Amino acid sequence: MYGTPAHGTPMYGTPAHGTPVYGTPAHGTPVQGTPAHGIPVHRAAAVRGGHPQHDEGGARPVPYGGRRGRTLAVDPERADKQGPFVPGPRHEDEPEAEVPAGRGGLGRTLAGVAAAAVATVLAVVVAGQVTGQEEPAAAPRAAGEAAERAVDESSASRSDDRITPTRPVPRKPVVLTYEQLMTHQFPIDPELKGSGAFEAVQGFQKAPGKGRLIRYRVDVEKGIGLDPKLFADAVQKTLNDPRSWAGDGAMTFERISSGEPEFVITLASPGTTGVWCRKSGLDTTIDNVSCDSASTERVMINAFRWARGSSTFGPKAMHAYRQMLINHEVGHRLGHNHVTCRTPGALAPVMQQQTKSLNIDGVRCRPNPWVNPGS
């Protein structure tokens, strides 16, 4: 219908009766005013329901929507009865869609996008009906997708609708007690040779008992990766235990970090322990053991033995082995020499070299960390 009508006159120019389409229609009444039978345009549109009719024959051009060059074939008889078809308001004349409160400028923009997409679909459908062509399938599909994207983007932009990812609840760090730490083995290289630089463990631990007061300091070699405080606490607790050297009330031990100590209990790497023990004529490298370097101020505790223990006690008795290690080397500083077990199956004396063996001259004894185990 967009070409030449039935009477041979182009519809884009002047209709069959010589009157321009956009001016006065065939009967002399302006299209945008009152139609042929006196019905207002907006009421005529209401009667037709806003949808164009498809008429097959007896067509005559009638203006479509007041737009130049576009005509619509209308049955004369039906036009006389019902009035000419007048479409609904153009998209340009429609009021702006109402936007819910709180959406702001973004809500209005997205609403406009959705409305424009819907209007595009309607325009394509109407154009297909006017020209007599089939509606293109891709156009409404693309417009529908655009509208869906607009709705999706509108929903995504609303922070109250977003799903907030749950954060894992942080686990509280497990804090081990002194007793638990004393049962653990710690990793260390048996051939480690440290820096040789020592650092005093800060703090003061008062002597708890009576008798002769013995003040000592605890040093730990820097960089060996062992806990200085755990070592210092173990020394203080062990020496003042009722089963230890202070058990009979003859002496009590007090840890200081400044001032003049009677001796320094030193935790050092195997290499550094060997250096300090050689100063007193002792070789600790053969069995990787500890010593009391009597010609110096230091009682040397081999960090490998402190961390890993010995086969005589085994990994399940690390706490007892560490207590024996402290009591044995401090016993040398207090003037006690090595003693061996004489009764098979008895507890080994604390001054026996229990790190090396529990079987001396065929007499096998049980491991023992205390001076007075029965106290």
Domain ranges of the chain: 92-158, 178-364
Kind of pairing between the strands at 198-200 and 212-221: antiparallel
- CATH number for domain 178-364, candidates 3.40.50, 1.10.10, 2.40.128, 3.40.390: 3.40.390
**261 contacts: CB under 8 Å, gap ≥ 6:** 215, 216, 217, 297
Q: Which residue has the tokens 């009152």?
A: 34
Identify any residues that bridge with 73 across adjacent strands, giving them in sequence order.
Answer: 61
Pairwise CA distance, residues 36 & 273, whole Å:
120
pLDDT reported for residue 61 = 43
Kind of pairing between the strands at 263-268 and 298-302: parallel
pLDDT reported for residue 164 = 66
pLDDT reported for residue 72 = 42
Q: Which residues of the chain have pLDDT under 70?
A: 1-165
pLDDT reported for residue 149 = 57
Pairwise CA distance, residues 358 & 350, whole Å:
11
- Please name the residue ranges forming H helices in the chain: 41-48, 76-82, 104-131, 138-156, 178-182, 228-239, 270-278, 303-308, 318-333
pLDDT reported for residue 34 = 42
Distances (CA, A) of 86 to 28, 43, 50, 95, 127: 17, 9, 8, 19, 15
Mean per-residue pLDDT over the chain, rounded: 74
Pairwise CA distance, residues 100 & 110, whole Å:
12
For the whole model, what pTM was predicted? 0.57
Pairwise CA distance, residues 265 & 216, whole Å:
7
pLDDT reported for residue 259 = 94
- Please name the residue ranges forming H helices in 206-315: 228-239, 270-278, 303-308
pLDDT reported for residue 174 = 87
